[in-house]
Amino acid sequence: GTPDLHVPRDPRLLRLTGVHPFNSEPPLTALFDEGFLTSPELFYVRNHGPVPQVRDQDIPEWQVRIEGLVENPITLTMRDILEKYDQITAPITLVCAGNRRKEQNTVRKSKGFSWGPAGLSTALFTGPMMADILRSARPLRRAKFVCMEGADKLPNGFYGTSVKLNWAMDRNKGIMLAYKMNGEPLTPDHGRPLRVVVPGQIGGRSVKWLTRLIVTDAPSDNWYHVYDNRVLPTMVSPEMSAQNKNWWTDERYAIYDLNVNSATVYPAHEERLDLTTSGEFYTAKGYAYAGGGRRITRVELSLDKGKSWRLADINYAEDRYREYEGELFGGKVDMWQRETCFCWSFWSLAIPVADLENSDALLLRAMDDAMSVQPRDMYWSVLGMMNNPWFRVTITRDG
């Protein structure tokens, strides 16, 4: 039988792997049409194994242990986490490092399953800052990393990974523990009762079903930290990476911040454009995001294979929460540095129908405030992660 009974899932979710574990993305148009926030049932799911089942009555006693290089090791219950720390609510987009991997697998098979461009979702997360929790355990001066561990039992042990301690201690990085999504308790797929949320970094660092924070002087040695979420040099084949473990243990190849990326939602992939009825203009639309709190600063479209580009309008939907004073769902809306972007943004551009009629494909690229721009060429790597070349949609006309 399936170990994931009683998990509320939108039937529109597209399953990307076999029956178990559950990995899925929403249809891109359904995700986009929901708007800025994604409902928990439609939110993309990346599970490495069975979903830990926690009974309602056991949630107040759920425990998180904070240990390792700390002066004051502590065990916190959910009750402590809710009552003893300031609560924050903030909108955050989570993105799987495998978003758009399907395009890599088409060029050359990687070691991962084929995510389309909908391996991302956005919610208002509520809970305490990780900095406040770590501070109460008093990290030692030589401590450099914080390892996080979840309750899901997997073939290679519990799921775990780490981030730098100074990021976790920096409120502007926004790293938090969350127990609510859009004002409702977390659903089982998304970490019920408690997860980490690391804004601006790949989803793999946001450990679900959190049970332990371990302060250390070295990055996590958890199997899922070492053998997942990396971009190895492009010449490393699956065979090479299996023969030589050193490719995996080189921390320089571990992914933290997301890279700049974007996708077109309308026109949809394989949508047939009926240009005869769309009037003088067709409005193309889609999303863009950047990593590390950086803002998307431009989105450009080309109809002539990248020879010339047109500038799209950008809607930074998260900015309306910056102006929000006070509490939301029991947490103070705290957007850290006023300029930090931790969510997807939306772009649109009205294109003269006549121009579309003369083109075969629409190309798309975004740039962030570090002037990083999506590359023309794909950087293939063995795990197929961080795929962000220019997004391409073929133009198919009716009539």
Nearer to ligand MTE, 188 or 267 (CB): 188
Nearer to ligand MTE, 181 or 312 (CB): 181
Footprint of ligand MTE on residues 63-102 (CB under 6 A)? 94, 96
Select from 101, 102, 190, 212 the one that contacts ligand MTE (CB under 6 A): 190
Nearer to ligand MTE, 131 or 194 (CB): 194
Nearer to ligand MTE, 149 or 300 (CB): 149
Q: Which of 4, 23, 47, 96 is catalytic?
A: 96
Work out how close the CB of 51 gets to ligand MTE at its nearest, in angstroms, rounded to a whole number.
9
Is-catalytic flag, 147? no
Of 28-36, 38-46, 81-89, 336-344, the window that binds ligand MTE (rule: CB under 6 A) is 38-46
Number of residues this chain uses to bind ligand MTE (CB under 6 A): 19
Nearer to ligand MTE, 152 or 300 (CB): 152
Of 200-208, 248-256, 340-348, 385-393, the window that binds ligand MTE (rule: CB under 6 A) is 200-208
Q: Which of 222, 229, 261, 388 is catalytic?
A: 229
Is-catalytic flag, 229? yes
Select from 13, 207, 260, 393 the one that contacts ligand MTE (CB under 6 A): 207
Residue with the CB atom nearest ligand MTE in the bound state: 150
**HEC assignment per residue over the chain:** CCCCCCCCCCCCCEECCCCCCCEEECCHHHHHHCCCCCCCCCCCEECCCCCCCCCHHHHHHCEEEEEECECCCEEEEHHHHHHCCCCEEEEEEEECCCCCHHHHHHHCCCCCCCCCCCCEEEEEEEECEHHHHHHHHCECCCCCEEEEEEEEEECCEEEEEEEEHHHHCCHHHCCEEECEECCEECCHHHCCCCEEECCCECHHHCCCCEEEEEEECCCCCCHHHHCCCECCCCCCCHHHHHHCCHHHHCHHHECCECCCEEEEEECCCCCEECCCCCCCEEEEEEEEECCCCCCEEEEEEECCCCCCCEECEEECCCHHHHCCCCEECCEEECCCCCCCCCCCEEEEEEEEHHHHHCCCEEEEEEEECCCCECCCCCCCCCCCCCCCCCEEEECEECC
Select from 159, 289, 342, 344 the one that contacts ligand MTE (CB under 6 A): 159
Of 46-54, 130-138, 325-333, 375-383, the window that binds ligand MTE (rule: CB under 6 A) is 46-54
Work out how close the CB of 46 gets to ligand MTE at its nearest, in angstroms, rounded to a whole number.
4
Q: Which of 4, 152, 228, 368 is catalytic?
A: 228
Footprint of ligand MTE on residues 170-189 (CB under 6 A)? 189
Is-catalytic flag, 96? yes
Nearer to ligand MTE, 386 or 393 (CB): 386
Place of tokens 């804004």: 199
Beta strands 14-15 and 210-216: pairing type?
A: unpaired
Write out the residues near ligand MTE by the rule CB under 6 A.
43-48, 94, 96, 150, 152, 159, 189-190, 203-204, 206-209
Give the active site residues.
96, 228-229
